[in-house]
Amino acid sequence: MTKKSVQALGLTAMLFAGAALSIEPAHAASATGDATVKILSAITVTKSSDLDFGKIVPSAAAATVAIAEDNSRVCGSGLSCFGTTTAGAFAVTGTANETVSVAIDNPSITLTDGGSNSMAVALATTTSAMTLSGTGAGSFKVAGTLNVGANQVAGSYSGQYSVSVSYQ
Amino acid sequence: MRDGSIISYPLMRVILFAGAMACSSLAMVHTANAASGGAAVTIIRSLSATQEESLDFGRILPAARDGMVTVRPDGGTECNGVTLCLGEGKPALFRLTGAEMPLAVSIDPVVAMTGPDAAHVMVTLLPSGPVVMASPAGTAYAVGGQMIVAAGTPPGIYAGQYNISFEYQ
């Protein structure tokens, strides 16, 4: 056998060895699967402040008193409004960075004096959805428009409404 | 010695001739009894399995009692006994590329997903079936799962891994 042929055989052997190292078993294949879930924490909604229209002196004509989310008040024509006013406010807790929807369950309610006298209130919020903070906190406010009747009977009027906050 | 070599040279010729004849005879015998042998091989395309989608149970709000969430291989989901199932769970999808041959599937039966503070949730895996056909263009193979959500499962993100393998049959 010449030297040249020996060298050729050696190269061939090296090629086969290289091929054997680079080829993986082809008859089977394995993979790793991933599984994930995000467990949410329950949402809590806590009232921070009541919607308070303050004190109102009615007139001979019906009018409205509106409380905005920034606690400001617009007193209707003929009415006299004074005293502290506040918008309704709620604090929310849940899973951090999750988006939640906000809804007023009963946007029209009635305030009563415990007897037969009442006033209607229209409720609204500009927050229909929000993303909770990195600590899972959020808040929203509720504005209202009170319909004061002509010569509305004096007294303390109150009523209730409910809100819902849900994960989206 | 010279005489000896003169004498012995013709003898060597005879021996060589006889040897040549013998070889020729052997060759003829070999040719007369020749048979053809067959050889065959099937080269099969290399098999590969790649995860394209991971098994995702979405977002779940546990209830006050134990519940169960199922993500079927066909993509359907069932939520029983939990307050909310959000985010539309989806099964895992593996792309199998290889020869158009049936593959045997073996998979871990259960996977533990670990969450915050080493809390864990167990998932029973629901593979599409024990056998699947591979294809050169790639065949999708889905894996669903069924998860028990215990009451009071701590909130957070849970994740786990499992092994799945495919083999030509």
Count of alpha carbons within 13 angstroms of residue A3, beta-carbon side: 0
Q: Are B54 and A34 inside 8 Å of each other by CB?
A: yes
- Domain presence at residue B4: no
Of B28 and A100, the one with more pLDDT: A100
pLDDT for A10 equals: 35
CA atoms of A161 and A102, how far apart (whole Å): 14
Q: Are B60 and A37 inside 8 Å of each other by CB?
A: yes
B142-159: per-residue pLDDT in tens? Answer: 999 999 999 889 999 999
Question: What distances in angstroms separate CA A30 from CA A33, B72, B107, one per listed residue?
Answer: 10, 22, 10
Nearest-CA neighbor of A44 among A151, A168, A167, A126?
A167
Q: Is B44 on the interface with A (CB under 8 A)?
A: yes
Q: Which residues contact A61 (CB under 8 A, 6 or more apart)?
A: A77, A78, A150
> Is the interface score ipTM higher than 0.85?
no
Task: Indicate whether B127 pLDDT > 70.
Answer: yes
The mean of the pLDDT values for chain B is 83
Average pLDDT over residues B17-30: 45
Task: Indicate whether A12 pLDDT > 50.
Answer: no
Average pLDDT over residues B121-136: 94
Average pLDDT over residues A43-64: 96
Average pLDDT over residues B6-20: 41
CA atoms of A165 and A144, how far apart (whole Å): 19
Q: What's the residue count for chain B?
A: 169
Task: Indicate whether A66 pLDDT > 90.
Answer: yes
CB neighbours of residue B135 within 10 Å = 15
Amino acid identity for residue B82 in this structure: V
A19-48: per-residue pLDDT in tens? Answer: 333 344 568 999 999 999 999 999 999 999
pLDDT for B33 equals: 75
Residue in B closest to A26 by C-alpha: B46
Task: Indicate whether A149 pLDDT > 90.
Answer: yes
- Domain presence at residue B28: no
Average pLDDT over residues A124-141: 97
Domain ranges of chain A: 44-167
pLDDT for B1 equals: 37
Tally the domains of chain B: 1
Q: Phi and psi of A88, rounded to 5°? A: -70, 140
pLDDT over 90 percentage in chain B = 63
Cα torsion angle, B85, B52, B138, B46, sign: negative
Average pLDDT over residues B25-46: 70
Query: CATH code at B107?
Result: 2.60.40
Indicate the fold that domain A44-167 takes in CATH: Immunoglobulin-like (2.60.40)
- Domain presence at residue B9: no
Q: Are B56 and A36 inside 8 Å of each other by CB?
A: yes
B78: helix, strand or coil: strand
Which B residues, 63 through 92, put their C-beta within 8 Å of a C-beta on chain A? Answer: 69, 83-84, 86-87, 89, 92
Of B47 and B43, the one with more pLDDT: B47
Give me the domain span that covers residue B134. Answer: 48-168
Task: Mutate one of A23, A27, A32, A37 to test the B interface: name it (highest B CB count within 10 A).
Answer: A37
- Domain presence at residue B70: yes
Task: Indicate whether B43 pLDDT > 60.
Answer: yes
pLDDT for B32 equals: 66
Nearest-CA neighbor of A46 among A93, A3, A114?
A93
Task: Indicate whether A13 pLDDT > 70.
Answer: no
Question: What distances in angstroms separate CA B131 from CA A28, B87, B110, one per listed residue?
Answer: 13, 30, 19
In this prediction, residue A161 has a pLDDT band, given cuts at 50, 70 and 90, of very high
> 3-class secondary structure for chain A?
CCHHHHHHHHHHHHHHHHHHHHCCCCCEEEEEEEEEEEECCCCEEEEEECCECCEEECCCCCEEEEECCCCCEEECCCCEEECCCECEEEEEECCCCCEEEEEECCCEEEEECCCCCEEEEEEECCCCEEECCCCCEEEEEEEEEEEECCCCCCCCCECCCCEEEEEC
B50-102: per-residue pLDDT in tens? Answer: 999 999 999 999 998 999 999 999 999 999 988 888 877 999 999 999 999 99
In this prediction, residue B45 has a pLDDT band, given cuts at 50, 70 and 90, of confident
- Domain presence at residue B20: no
Average pLDDT over residues A108-134: 96
Rg of chain A taking only CA atoms, in angstroms? 36
Considering only CB atoms, A30 lies closest to which of B46, B49, B61, namely B49
Q: Is B57 on the interface with A (CB under 8 A)?
A: yes
